[in-house]
Amino acid sequence: MWVRYLDVPSRTPPAHYSQIPETAWCSEARRFQLADSMNLTHRYFLNRANRIAYTPVKREQIAKAEGITRLLRVPYYILGQIPAAKLVTVKVLAHIAMKMKETDTSYVMAFAGPSGHGKTELAKQMGSLLSVETTLIDTA
């Protein structure tokens, strides 16, 4: 329905649709509702989210062991900045996996770049997904 996001989706699914396991959640009634309610922007962002590569197993194992699997959702929240979101996620997981000291629980992240590119939103999402207290400092 959002693979060809420029096309208005049909209300009826293609013939082969029911044979694809990933589409089992989308009943005919649900597809009818989605086709009527999704606009071009919705379809575009769903298309972008659909193209995000799966997280490697090693990263999932580290996140699960540390109880921070929610961190792996960052690329889905910051769709316009997928490379930045992945980079931050990988760096945080690497830092946690290294565990230099058990008493060292502080993380400091500094984001730099032009205004309006999602630095503050990325910091907010990271804090929320890690369930940590976040302090944002605007240095402009």
pLDDT single digits (tens) 10-36:
777 777 766 777 777 777 788 888 888
Is the residue at 78 inside a domain? yes
The predicted-structure confidence for 82-125, as pLDDT tens digits, reads as follows: 788 888 888 888 887 777 556 556 777 888 888 887 888 888 88
Question: What is the extent of the structural domain holding 76?
Answer: 57-130
Is the residue at 10 inside a domain? no
Question: What is the dihedral sign for C-alpha 130, 133, 138, 139?
Answer: negative
Is the residue at 71 inside a domain? yes
Q: How many CA atoms lie within 13 Å of 51's alpha carbon, on the beta-carbon side?
A: 14
Q: Look at residue 102 in the predicted model and tell me its pLDDT.
A: 60
Is the residue at 105 inside a domain? yes
Q: What is the pTM of this model?
A: 0.60
Is the residue at 126 inside a domain? yes
The predicted-structure confidence for 109-120, as pLDDT tens digits, reads as follows: 888 888 887 888
